[in-house]
Amino acid sequence: MPPTPPEPAAVLARPHTAELTGWGRTAPTASDVRRPTSATELQRALPNGSPRGLLARGLGRGYGDCAQNSGGTVVETTDVDAFTIHDADPASDTVLVTAEAGASIDRLLHALVPQGLFVPVTPGTRYVTVGGAIAADIHGKNHHRKGSWCQHVTSLHLQLADGEVVEIGPDRDPELFWATAGGMGLTGVVLDATFACPRIGSSRLLVDTDRAADLDEVLELMASGDHAYDYSVAWIDLMAGGRATGRSVLTRGRFATAEEAAPAAGPDPYAYSAGVLASAPPFVPDGLLNKLTVRAFNELWFRKAPVRRRDELQTIPTFFHPLDMVGGWNRIYGPQGFLQWQFVIPFGAEATLRRIIEELSASGCTSFLAVLKAFGEADPAPLSFPAPGWTLALDIPAGVRGLGPLLDRLDELVVAEGGRVYLAKDSRVRPELVPQMYPRLDEWRAVRNRVDPQRRIRSDLSRRLGL
Amino acid sequence: MRDAVGAVQSVLVLGGGSEIAQAIVDRLVGGRCRTVVLGARDITALSPVAARWQAAGATVDSFAFDALDPASHQAAVDAAFDAHGDIDMAIIAFGVLGDQATFDADPVAAADAARANYVGAVSASLAVASRFRTQGHGTLLVLSSVAGVRARADNYVYGSTKAGLDAFAQGLGDALVGTGSRVVVVRPGFVHGRMTEGMQPAPFATTPDKVADAVVAGLAKGREVIWAPAVLAPVFTVMRNLPRGVWRRVSAR
């Protein structure tokens, strides 16, 4: 009989050495992992970090090494997750919520949606924490209208490397606030944040779907019509070549009013349930995803999408978080793991976007559906990823031969257009390119040097890229 | 740091004169590697390769390293780590092939080969492993040989040193699970080069460049054992299981 595993809480309460990876499960490194259970305990971690520094980690959904700190301390914040929904004037468009760093969007939604509220921004997974949302300045399907997460933050408490706790916001030490937004956790440990949550009319979305036969068509649809929708994203089939290059399914929508939602939602317009329907098996052999299986999947997915559908009612999980229905889906890539490559290039660089998609399609990399979106305006944060233009995100198995040189080549195309890759997804970019991708890097470094001159806060990402 | 496609940013080579190690470093420097630290018996002989890597944009540093002096290994490895920060990969590349007939006549020379190839590799590997544990990551690449898979009458001293080294490296790799570090064992077949000059090549003979290509591909795939060429894996599965008498005839040269 296998030995009974000890109670998880008992194990996690004390520091232990563990190997950590990002969501892509590549390049594991070992750290002294602590999981404080209260805000007080969380604050005690920083002054007691290891000589190789300390880093806060949320739910580990960053794809690469941004939430790892090899040989140092990693503080998992996920048990420090209390939050308060503040009273608000019923006539106001938004309601302020204060949440501790470890509160996840998943937990927030279970409390917010039944009260007619939503999060200001959600990525493709609800398993991200408030601290992580700030560190990566996350974006979602509404970026073209509402910008990224930190544009909705009114204030936050940050513990600096020397242990001091400061309250910052867009109007309170804005320099440090915007360096923290998208700062990959390197300016300090976020303890809690206050952000504005929008009201919604129901827990359903009214969704329009358009199937686009090629890249030109989907870009045209987005350029001409996105402004009429709160949320917009296209899923693009990168395995399709020739005339079908860039074929996509574009889904756009907005929250339905209570009346509009009634036929589907029943008596309670704010009914919300979100769960995991299935889990990926704990071990998947290499090569389950090969050219044949992925091509077949993408074909099926494209064909089953309607050519044009209007006003379909969808739930929040279906519209925003479809992958969350499969627990641990990152395991389907097998033990070698995978990486995600996400870049943005400015509007006007469509020819380069096409060339990148053609190169990816021709490389024969097995890539499931990639995500294409038009970003809106950037926020003032020097390391924030979103900028006006087209963003494409795709997953690729890490063991593919020649993948490193291929992506290096594509990075050059991105940089030549004044584009950049997303640090929260990165696991392999050439460090020399980072100052070109983020021309305000030195401005960010100046702020980081002010608050952490001794580099007490470090991550594997910061080591790899020399941030 | 090692990245998601197996590229490293810094490498320490113990046995910097090794042609296989140099071919591997050529490829690493062509990728992300910007720091090369070389430990070798004769560092002056390394200036041409050092210049090549510097021209490619790497910082190259070298220090005197004596495989036959295990007592010096930890201090030498510590100095390399202290001077250059994180070392993402260390290559244990030193070793002597020797000549079996000479060893038969000179047991002390045979023991010296064993001291370099096995004893020295043990202390050097452990010195690196302790630093890897502290930094929480690292890849130790150990150059073993198919000669260690099954000892042959015409080079059993060398073969047995590699057999010991191979077993040691596998055990160390298992011991390092959970530390963020790992050991990768490379088992080349007959490699054309300085070490084998004038010898008659064995079947599936290869070159340092081809071994290095196999190593880089294996690292990207996260392999724990890399055979070069790959066909030697099934070949030696058979060889290892041949009856002694048959093996004696097959391996006779």
CATH number at residue A126: 3.30.465.10
Band of pLDDT at residue A8, cut at 50, 70 and 90: very low
Whether residue A42 is contained in a domain is answered as no
pLDDT over threshold 60, residue A4: no
If residue B99 lies in a helix (H) or strand (E), which one and from where to where? Answer: none
- The CATH number of the domain covering residues in B10-251: 3.40.50.720
Band of pLDDT at residue B253, cut at 50, 70 and 90: low
End position of a domain, from candidates A184, A200, A216: A200
Which residues in B lie closer than 8 A to residue A26 (C-beta atoms)?
A: 3-5
The tokens for A176 are: 């440090």
What is the nearest CA distance from B246 to chain A, expressed in angstroms?
36
What chain A residue is nearest to B134 in terms of C-alpha separation?
Answer: A71
Who's near B134: CB < 8 A, 6+ residues apart? A71
The mean pLDDT of B191-217, rounded to a whole number, is: 93
The mean pLDDT of A405-424, rounded to a whole number, is: 97
What is the nearest CA distance from B193 to chain A, expressed in angstroms?
27
pLDDT over threshold 50, residue A11: no
Statement to judge: residues A406 and A364 lie in one domain: yes
The mean pLDDT of B227-231, rounded to a whole number, is: 96
pLDDT over threshold 80, residue A134: yes
pLDDT, tens only, A429-457: 999 999 999 999 999 999 999 999 999 99
Average model confidence (pLDDT) for chain A? 93
pLDDT for B232 equals 97
pLDDT over threshold 90, residue A368: no
Interface A-B: count of C-beta contacts within 8 A: 87
Q: Give, as one character, the DSSP assignment of residue B118.
A: I
Other CB atoms within 10 Å distance of the CB of residue A55: 28
Q: Looking at the complex, does the CB of residue A44 fall below 8 Å from at least one CB of chain B?
A: no
pLDDT over threshold 70, residue A12: no
Whether residue A292 is contained in a domain is answered as yes
Statement to judge: residues A186 and A249 lie in one domain: no
Whether residue A466 is contained in a domain is answered as no
What is the nearest CA distance from A70 to chain B, expressed in angstroms?
5
Whether residue A60 is contained in a domain is answered as no
pLDDT, tens only, A298-325: 888 888 899 999 999 999 999 999 889 8
pLDDT over threshold 50, residue A2: no
pLDDT for A6 equals 43
Which residues in B lie closer than 8 A to residue A285 (C-beta atoms)?
A: none
**Strand pairing partners for B245?**
none
Statement to judge: residues A91 and A104 lie in one domain: yes
CATH assignment at residue A229: 3.30.70.2520
Whether residue A14 is contained in a domain is answered as no
Statement to judge: residues A112 and A125 lie in one domain: yes
The mean pLDDT of A271-290, rounded to a whole number, is: 80
Q: How far apart are CA A339 and CA A362, in angstroms?
A: 19
pLDDT, tens only, A152-211: 999 999 999 999 999 999 999 999 999 999 999 999 999 999 999 999 999 999 999 999
Which residues in A lie closer than 8 A to residue B86 (C-beta atoms)?
A: 70, 463
Statement to judge: residues A99 and A118 lie in one domain: yes
pLDDT for A217 equals 97
User: What is this model's ipTM?
Assistant: 0.93
Backbone dihedral region for residue A30 (phi beyond 0: left; psi -120 to 50: alpha; all else: beta): beta
pLDDT for A16 equals 87
Statement to judge: residues A243 and A188 lie in one domain: no
Statement to judge: residues A308 and A237 lie in one domain: yes
Whether residue A22 is contained in a domain is answered as no
Q: Give, as one character, the DSSP assignment of residue A59.
A: S
Q: Looking at the complex, does the CB of residue B45 fall below 8 Å from at least one CB of chain A?
A: no
Q: Looking at the complex, does the CB of residue A18 fall below 8 Å from at least one CB of chain B?
A: yes
Whether residue A343 is contained in a domain is answered as yes
Q: How far apart are CA A335 and CA B238, in angstroms?
A: 28
Q: How far apart are CA A88 and CA B222, in angstroms?
A: 54
Statement to judge: residues A321 and A384 lie in one domain: yes
Statement to judge: residues A162 and A258 lie in one domain: no
Q: Looking at the complex, does the CB of residue B135 fall below 8 Å from at least one CB of chain A?
A: yes
The tokens for B46 are: 């390394």
What chain A residue is nearest to B34 in terms of C-alpha separation?
Answer: A431
Statement to judge: residues A104 and A153 lie in one domain: yes
Other CB atoms within 10 Å distance of the CB of residue A87: 8
Q: Looking at the complex, does the CB of residue B248 fall below 8 Å from at least one CB of chain A?
A: no
Statement to judge: residues A335 and A423 lie in one domain: yes
Question: Among candidates B217, B245, B249, which has minimal Cα distance to B5?
Answer: B217
Of all residues in chain A, the percent with pLDDT exceeding 90 is 80
Structural domain harbouring A233: 204-435
**Strand pairing partners for A166?**
A158
Statement to judge: residues A191 and A225 lie in one domain: no
pLDDT for A47 equals 87
Whether residue A45 is contained in a domain is answered as no
Other CB atoms within 10 Å distance of the CB of residue A359: 14
Mutate to test the interface with B, among A29, A342, A461 (most CBs of B within 10 A): A29
Contact A244, A213 (CB under 8 A): yes
pLDDT over threshold 90, residue A5: no
Which residues in A lie closer than 8 A to residue B32 (C-beta atoms)?
A: 430-431
Band of pLDDT at residue A110, cut at 50, 70 and 90: very high
**Which member of A31, A70, A336 has the closest CB to residue B222?**
A336
Counted domains in chain A:
2
Mutate to test the interface with B, among A73, A286, A403, A463 (most CBs of B within 10 A): A463
